[in-house]
Structure 1
Amino acid sequence: MQEITHHQIMIFFFSLAILIGLARIFGELCKKIGQPSILGEIAAGIILGPTVFAYIAPDLQATLFPSSGPLYVTFEFIGMLAITLFMLIAGMEVDLKCLKKQAKPATVVGISSMILPFAGGFALVYLFPKTFDTQEKTFVTALFMATALAISALPVITKILMDLKLIKTDLGVTIIAAAIFNDLTGWMIFAIVLSLMSDTSGGFPWGTIVGIVAAGAFMLTIGRKIVLALIPRVQAHASWPGGVMGFILTGALLAAAVAEWIGVHGIFGSFLFGVALGDSPHLRHQTEEYMEKFISFILTPIFFATIGLKVNFLTHFDLFAVVILLVVGSITKIVGSYVGAKICGMSQRESMALGWGMNARGVMEIILAIIALEAKVINDTVFVAIVILALFTSMTSGALMKISLKRRSKTSALTSFGRGAFVADLKHPAPAHVIKDMVLQLNIDHEVQADIIQSTISREQLMSTGLEKGLAVPHCRTDLVKKPILLIGLHESGADFDCFDDGKAHVIALIITPLSDPESQLELISVLASHFSSKEEMVKAMTCKSKVDMQAILNAADEMSEKHS
């Protein structure tokens, strides 16, 4: 057995420090300019890899970041651990309850957003064989490209919707549900592709595929029940948060080991384990946050930085490959998503916004590509093109969604509030009671009141509408109103609207909009969320004694919104 020398240990620590340090610096710089941190982390790897550093100082680069030997193997194992645990976090973001409640739109949009890009990716390999250089793996490469273009990146989409303050809107819920459907379906297909990649017998790996389906079915049914039952017991008898985090990490790594035993990559197992415990009512939000920060801030930057160490991005840049993947990948995804949204009855603007949102590929696409590159299913040129596609769509989706939802005349919060009501002394902490107490203040027919109350409570049960800093925006769309109505209620002790920051909601803005005008709901939520993100404005709101006092605040909110526009 070859012993590791002190010199090799020194080089390892030095190289790891440079890799993490530069990746974090570049990642933070990208976040400050509104771009995903993964862009900076990959850029750090490109600088330290064969593209830049090896060109300037080849001997030093080969010493710090060798392409073989113990140091190379160590980095490979660290990268594998990092991405396995990242997929655990990605799985935990999958909300099966949301998918179940939004089953119809999620299925319709999910399927329609996958069919066209799947067909497009499959066809590209056969239309341009020289570009994809399949080396007698044409079918496997075609199936991989089909899967790569068909999936969306749930973590990226969630971040975009949060930045645009759309995460709690009807549009946001539909996009999230469809992305969850994409993720689950796409990773099941990719697991089959992985089994085909690793099969050397020349036959079809039926045993592996049966194992994949069985593992998926078990983890999402019986396995999920077992995991959800064990979490409260671990919390009751182990220290917090270390005990729970230890249980989750152990489970994820065991699931990864089982996936490798079945014959697919370990990330599939950790992803399924994450899905199984993702919506556990017993898992504290802080525990998830601690895990997410450790994995996303320390481990995953290592993985994404090492991507730049593997390939020379200048040598293997092919403009034709980049353009066809960008054009085919984006057009098929956007058109497919748009068609699904229209089938579900969404407006023109909402359908376009949904298309742009579903086009965000990001991290998931890159993970697929790196595994395919290591399995020699794609070449370096196609890998570089896929990375560019993933980064470009992640960078542009948010801005294009925002443009799609813009209108010439914006919905006024002040005008909508003029049709509504002001409740200064809400008492009950339960959202259903708060909604009922507010709607009963409207001077409308009792049957209409009852319908609005029921619709708003049903929407709240689908996904809570608490934002942050004490604001909640319960809402509904109905054909019983012709124009947007805004009601504002104040709750001194706070209502339980499950806010992002785990706080109570003190300002409750209840929004009722016509079924035929979905954009007005998005605009009102955007105006209110932006204005009340200021602690000073929240304090002002809580001192309001009458509707006139609140009108002055909403007038300022409208003016600020116009100024920003």
Structure 2
Amino acid sequence: MQNVQQTELLVVATLLQLIVIVAAARLAGNLARLLGQPRAVGEIIAGLLLGPSLLGHFWPDLSAAIFDPIAATPMLVLSQIGLIFLMFQLGCDFDFRHLRHSHNSRAVGYVAAASIIVPTLAGVVLGWFIAPVLAPEIDRLAFSLFIGVALCITALPTMGRILREYGLTRDEIGVVAISAAAINDVTGWVLLAGVAAYAASSFSLTHTALQVGGLVALMLVLFFLGRPIADWLLKRWPIKDGEISSNLLAIVLAGIFLAGIATERLGVFTIFGGFLLGLLFHRHEEFAQAWRRQIGQFVLVFFLPIFFTYTGLRTNILGLTTLTDWAWCLLIVAVAVLAKIVPVTLAARAAGVNPANASTLGVLMNTRALMELIVLNLGLSLGIIPPKVFTMLVVMAVCTTVMTAPLLRMSLKKAGKPVERLAEA
């Protein structure tokens, strides 16, 4: 009887949090769209406001009543499942046939390299410089390497949502950006795994090489074996009346979770398994459209805001109490922006991309938001960064994402693609 009561209390606590999170995210997302920003920006800010930066600070009793710690684990699990679904949807959503053109594939290589190498080096130097002041009790090299990874990351899911809202998912520039972001993030996760191993005094070059080799092997298996299976499944259970059959949906869901387990075992975390599996279906536009209607909207409205709130509950912007704190924060933001936009733009130009599209790529690769928040939460949990630096990096993630929409509109207009309003998403 006692176990039943405890279960009921857990369910009620979880449901209460879901009510507040979904409602707050939807309201903030609507407001963000009115201000010309993507929904993701409003949802991130809603998460911050529900945490100690506002609700927890001014109404601590109310915050404690809503966000009961007993529901923390199920909420975290729900947020991770939502991220896996979102990544699968992004994999389905993009037309990678543009990459058959040599100039596009070359641009992806140049942009990905620039977006990884320069920000990582800039972050390591910055981290080494600020470590004695902001993280004196943490291993200086581990801290510096983590800052390098944090500045390297590009938010693949958030960029995907922005591209959808601007109708760029099947545009050449959108495909180049998302492809480079995918390479960027996979590399970032491998680097993060190495930093985490170093911080735990368990780094092994052999292990890292095996990890990379395992990822390559998984991608080859999915390409040569997974794609024919996906094609067969859609012939066996074709899309009818714009809907995915229940049998096909069950098989796809199981495949998504299996791919997530595979990438987690390789040390690149579960969400990239969802993305890799989504790539198997990107040639089947009817399936992608049906997935968005049946599953995609639910993921965006229900699952994703949970993660943003989870991050907000760990972020206390009011903890930056002095002008010195904010000066360090502004320095981090400035280095993060310059180390992404400038080298990516120059690399795109070197690959033969015209100036307007090159600047668009620079702006898009500067988007950090979701993936950055995932990395930062891991860094905080592993003890590689202190809470104050965590907050500064969250501010950086928000700022780099907020600036994306206005800069993107400017770049699109220069490229002859004026955008009057955001598409519904």
TM-score for both structures, normalised by structure 2 = 0.83
1:269 correspondence with 2:270: no
Please tell me the residue identity of whatever aligns with 1:89: Q
Task: Return the match for 1:294 from 295, 298, 308.
Answer: 298
Counterpart of 2:64? 62
Match of 1:112 among 111, 114, 126: 114
Counterpart residue type for residue 63 of structure 2: Q
Q: What residue in structure 2 maps to residue 323 of structure 1? A: 330
In the alignment, which of 40, 46, 49 is matched to residue 47 of structure 1?
A: 49
Aligned pair 1:37/2:39, yes or no?
yes
Which deviates further from its counterpart, 117-126 or 316-325?
316-325
Which one scores higher on RCO, CA 8 angstroms, separation ≥ 6? 2
User: Which residues of 2 match residues 241-280 of structure 1 at below 5 A?
Assistant: 241-280=245-284
SS in 1 for 2:317: coil
Indicate if the aligned counterparts of 1:208 and 1:262 stay in contact, CA closer than 8 A. Answer: no
3-state SS, counterpart of residue 314 of structure 1: helix
Asked if 2 retains the 8 angstrom alpha-carbon contact of 1:350 and 1:404, the reply is yes
1:305 counterpart residue number: 309
Give the alignment's Cα RMSD to 1 decimal.
3.2
CA distance in 1, matches of 2:236, 2:398: 44
Using a 3 Å threshold, how does the CA distance of structure 1 residues 77 and 135 change in structure 2: closer, same or farther? Answer: farther
The aligned counterpart of 2:192 is: 193
Equivalent positions of 1:414-429 (< 5 A) are none
352, 357, 364: which is aligned to 2:359? 352
Structure 2 alignment gaps of length 5 or more:
238-242
Structure 2 match to 1:375: 382
Q: Match for residue 476 of structure 1?
A: none
Structure 1 residue runs of 5 or longer lacking an equivalent are 407-518, 534-565
Which secondary structure state, in structure 2, belongs to the residue aligned with residue 35 of structure 1? coil
Aligned-partner residue type, residue 215 of structure 1: G
Aligned position for 2:240: none
- Cα offsets for 1:328-384 (capped at 9, x unmatched): 111121210221133234454444343233322232222222222222222222222
Contact 1:191 1:268 in 2 (8 A): no
Counterpart residue identity of residue 352, structure 1:
S
Deviations 1:294-314 (A, max 9, x none): 211111111112211122221
1:228 paired residue number = 227
**Which structure carries more strand by proportion?**
1
Choose which of 141, 144, 149 in structure 2 pairs with 1:142: 144
Which residue identity is paired with 2:273? G
Query: 1:14 matched to which residue of 2?
Result: 16
Bigger helix share: 2
Q: Where does residue 314 of structure 1 map in the other structure?
A: 318
Could you say if the C-alpha distance between residues 164 and 79 of structure 1 is closer, same or farther in structure 2, counting changes exceeding 3 Å? Answer: closer
In structure 2, C-alpha distance between the alignment counterparts of 1:54 and 1:398, rounded to whole Å: 30
Alpha-carbon offset, residue 116 of structure 1: 1.9
Query: Which amino acid letter does the alignment assign opposite residue 110 of structure 1?
Result: A
Whole-Å Cα distance in 1 between the matches of residues 210 and 75 of structure 2? 30
Q: Helix, strand or coil: the match of 2:407?
A: helix
Q: Give the letter for the 2:60 counterpart.
A: P
Whether the aligned pair in 2 keeps the contact of 1:341 and 1:351 (CA below 8 Å) is: yes
User: Match of 1:128, SS?
Assistant: helix
- Report the Cα distance in structure 2 between the residues aligned to 1:372 and 1:339, rounded to whole angstroms: 31
Tell me the SS of whatever aligns to 1:334.
helix
Q: How many residues align?
A: 410
Q: Distance in 1 between matches of 2:199 and 2:354?
A: 50
What is the rounded CA distance, in whole Å, between the counterparts of 1:272 and 1:141 in structure 2?
30
Distance 1:314 1:273 in 2: 41
Q: Which residue is equivalent to 2:87?
A: 87
Say if 1:349 and 1:404, in contact at 8 Å, map to a contact too.
Answer: yes
Cα distance in 2 for partners of 1:21, 1:130 equals 42
Q: 2:404 aligns with which of 390, 397, 404?
A: 397
In the TM superposition, residue 182 of structure 1 has moved relative to its aligned partner by 3.3
Q: CA deviation at 1:88?
A: 2.8
Displacement of 1:240 in angstroms is: 2.6
Q: Residues 28-63 of structure 1: CA distance to partner in whole angstroms, max 9, x if unpaired?
A: 222232212223223333333223223333234223
Amino acid in the other structure paired with 2:202: G
Contact 2:259 2:274 (8 Å CA) reproduced: yes
Bigger CA radius of gyration:
1
